[in-house]
């Protein structure tokens, strides 16, 4: 009888405690749902604000000249002037500029993936005198504005006879990327040493370890670095402006600049050319954005 009373009291207290926790749990779920709604609303508003210039560029590329800067602004073209796109392509040799930009960006990306991964492996795994000091000095170059280095780079390219050639756009960024080396070094430091020790036991040297052990594990950061490098080279305007003089060697950003100078008032055609120029960048970003996020998220901050 006493045992039944105790069990009854315990069951009652348990039921009472569970009943008290239900409102608290519902309240927390309600607060979490409200926070999620507010957060998503703010993110949607921010996305719309960020996308509005791009949307305006596309819509302006389909307007006629009278509607481009009308007051009040006209968002929806009336009528849609699709001829702005073929007209912009025929006005300047965009096909040649596209080819120049693509092959320069591809070569630079391929070279950076090799040099940055090798340098990152050296800084992360090989003990040599002054390694930490050299790495700090290497990173310090990221704080120097690029505009301050353009004069010595220009003089070097002139001494080598590379002015007005694509070598002046390929060699400097292909051989040196402090950001790429930092990205590779930080990721490699997170790779367990046991993998390399096992390879050494099997008789592997540094090159074998780098090629067969390290590189297969660097797919995510290499993908992120390749995408960043491609976007940087595709949008590069300053270096081609300084180094190139011949129109047949112009890249897409430099060709757009010439287009704007030639059609100072034809802003609809300028916008059409800008839309054409941004398509490859948009495609690369859409197809590879998961690699960007994965590569950055998997790169640690170990020192």
- Reported as a single tens digit per residue, the pLDDT across 258-282 is 766 554 557 777 888 888 888 887 8
**pLDDT at position 159:** 92
pLDDT of the residue at 186: 87
* Residue 80 predicted with pLDDT over 90: no
Say if residues 164 and 254 touch (Cβ distance below 8 Å). no
The interaxial angle of helices 267-297 and 2-60, nearest 10 deg, is: 150
77 vs 20: which has the higher pLDDT: 77
207-236 pLDDT, tens digit each: 888 888 888 888 888 888 888 888 888 888
For residues 220 and 294, is the Cβ–Cβ distance under 8 A? yes
Q: State yes or no: pLDDT of 290 exceeds 80.
A: no
Q: How far is CA 299 from CA 82, 109, 124, in A?
A: 45, 19, 13
| Of the candidate ranges 69-83, 91-105, 161-175, 201-215, the one whose mean pLDDT is the lowest | 69-83
Cβ atoms of residues 229 and 177 within 8 Å: yes
What pLDDT is stored for residue 104 in this prediction? 92
CATH class of 89-297: mainly alpha
Query: Cα–Cα distance between 114 and 158 in angstroms, integer?
Result: 27
Contact 184, 116 (CB under 8 A): yes
Q: Where are the domains of the chain?
A: 2-60, 89-297
What six digits make up the tokens of 95?
Answer: 């096909």
CA distance readout (Å), 192 to 126, 181, 217:
14, 19, 11
Q: Quick one: pLDDT at residue 6?
A: 45
Reported pTM: 0.76
Greater pLDDT, 15 or 197: 197
Q: How many CB atoms lie within 10 A of CB 174?
A: 21
| Tokens standing for residue 221 | 């950061």
pLDDT at 2 over 50: no
């Amino acid at each position: 009888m006493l045992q039944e009373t105790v069990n009854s009291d315990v069951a009652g207290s348990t039921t009472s405690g569970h009943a008290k926790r239900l409102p608290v749990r519902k309240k927390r779920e309600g607060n979490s749902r409200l926070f999620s709604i507010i957060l998503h609303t703010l993110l949607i508003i921010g996305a719309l604000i960020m996308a509005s210039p791009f949307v305006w560029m596309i819509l302006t590329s389909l307007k006629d000249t009278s509607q481009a800067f009308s007051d009040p602004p006209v968002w929806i073209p009336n009528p849609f002037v699709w001829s702005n796109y073929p007209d912009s392509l025929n006005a300047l040799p965009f096909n040649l500029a596209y080819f120049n930009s693509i092959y320069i960006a591809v070569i630079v990306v391929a070279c950076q993936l090799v040099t940055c991964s090798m340098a990152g492996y050296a800084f992360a795994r090989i003990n040599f005198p002054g390694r930490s000091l050299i790495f700090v000095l290497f990173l310090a170059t990221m704080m120097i504005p690029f505009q301050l280095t353009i004069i010595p780079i220009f003089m070097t390219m002139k001494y080598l006879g590379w002015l007005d050639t694509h070598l002046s756009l390929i060699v400097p960024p292909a051989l040196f990327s402090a950001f790429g080396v930092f990205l590779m070094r930080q990721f490699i430091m997170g790779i367990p040493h046991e993998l390399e020790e096992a390879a050494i036991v099997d008789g592997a040297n540094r090159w074998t370890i780098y090629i067969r052990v390290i590189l297969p594990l660097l797919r995510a950061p290499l993908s992120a670095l390749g995408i960043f490098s491609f976007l940087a080279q595709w949008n590069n305007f300053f270096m081609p402006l300084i180094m190139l003089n011949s129109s047949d060697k112009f890249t897409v950003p430099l060709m757009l600049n010439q287009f704007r100078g030639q059609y100072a008032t034809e802003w609809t055609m300028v916008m059409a050319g800008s839309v054409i120029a941004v398509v490859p960048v948009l495609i690369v970003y859409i197809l590879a954005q998961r690699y960007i996020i994965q590569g950055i998220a998997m790169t640690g901050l170990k020192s």
